[in-house]
Amino acid sequence: MPTFRRPEALHKTLTALLALDYPRDRYEVIVVDDGADDTTSNVVYAFGDRGVSVRLAAQLRRGAASARNRGARLAGGEWLLFCDDDIITPPSHLAGHRDAHARHRHALVAGTFELAPPAVAILRATPFGRYRIELERQFLAEAQGEPLDGDVDRLRVPGVSAANLSLRRDLFWTIGGFDEEFPLAGAEDQDLSLRARAADALLVLDTNIPCFHNDHYLSRRAYCAREERSARTTPFLVRKYPAQFEDVPYARENRPITADDPPRLVVKKLLKAALANRLLLELLHAMARAGEAARAPEEPLRRLYAGLLGLHLFRGFRRSWTT
């Protein structure tokens, strides 16, 4: 489990992981602190006498990919299960992953996750929160795949998230682990998925393995900042797999102007670059704040939210593309 200075979320995740309906001597928990933070270490050490081996490794801002690889190197089991520090697992979590691998050994198995009820309650109370809930519904719909062998609960998918992911230890290292060139959490699990598929591994989304996402990025500002940060990893994916990603709309519309761009796209990029200026972006956030305070109709607010999110993604993408 990679973590970075989120002790409260980490405490809830560890509490759930140590309450699994699974023999306590048959699994271990390894937390890799990417912030080398004393508060984080205190949280981890507090779980030291509960019957499950809980170990801590610390490093300083080397990224989620590096943290996951370090945890995998320290792990002693045949199977690896990656879990983010804001994922709340049910007691059946490990058993669900075990059962999936009993049917599909050469596979990466991901469980599903949805926003935790407390987060949903907070989001429902604001216009942006309701927009965010709708975004989550869209993401879930896009993640669907084809049933495996007539099993409607297990789906073959093109990519899996590292937030709730298991596979054999030897398969993980055969694939090459996570690429540590990805500096932040974002597209590194897409990269792992592509290399897994190239190694003829099956990618499975198992709806029998549900989790809750204890998301703390619930405000407009916090969510946009997180998505901007995550977007900084996408250029690494585009450059690593140009045949797959150079011409997808997201990459084509956010990279710098090229000689092949049609005039309409050139205008769009120039407009994005102008609006993504920090001062103008602040003005757009102020407009959103004023609209929320005045209880403006939600449809124009949603268009403004979509524009703001697009500009933050543009900023993140461009920052890595040009460095």
Confidence (pTM):
0.92
Residue 317: partners with Cβ closer than 8 Å, 6 or more residues away: 231, 232, 234, 235, 250, 251, 254, 255
Residue 183 tokens, joined: 């500096």
Q: Please name each of the domains of the chain with its CATH number.
A: 2-218 (3.90.550.10), 221-321 (no CATH)
Beta strands of 53-201 (E only): which ranges? 53-58, 79-83, 87-88, 107-115, 146-148, 151-156, 164-168
What pLDDT was estimated at residue 323?
A: 64
* 264 vs 258: CA distance, rounded Å: 13
* 18 vs 129: CA distance, rounded Å: 31
Which 3 state secondary structure label does DSSP give 109? strand
State how far Cα 248 lies from the chain centre.
20
Beta strands of the chain (E only): which ranges? 2-3, 28-33, 53-58, 79-83, 87-88, 107-115, 146-148, 151-156, 164-168, 202-213
* 92 vs 166: CA distance, rounded Å: 14
pLDDT digits (tens, 9 = 90+) for 135-190: 998 887 776 788 887 778 899 999 999 999 999 999 999 999 999 999 889 999 99
Ranges of residues in the chain with a pLDDT under 70 are: 143, 323
What pLDDT was estimated at residue 140?
A: 78
CB 214 within 8 A of CB 121: no
- Residues paired with residue 57 on neighbouring β-strands, in sequence order: 32
Q: Rg for the chain (alpha carbons), in Å?
A: 21
Question: Within 10 A of 212 (CB to CB), how many other CB atoms are there?
Answer: 20
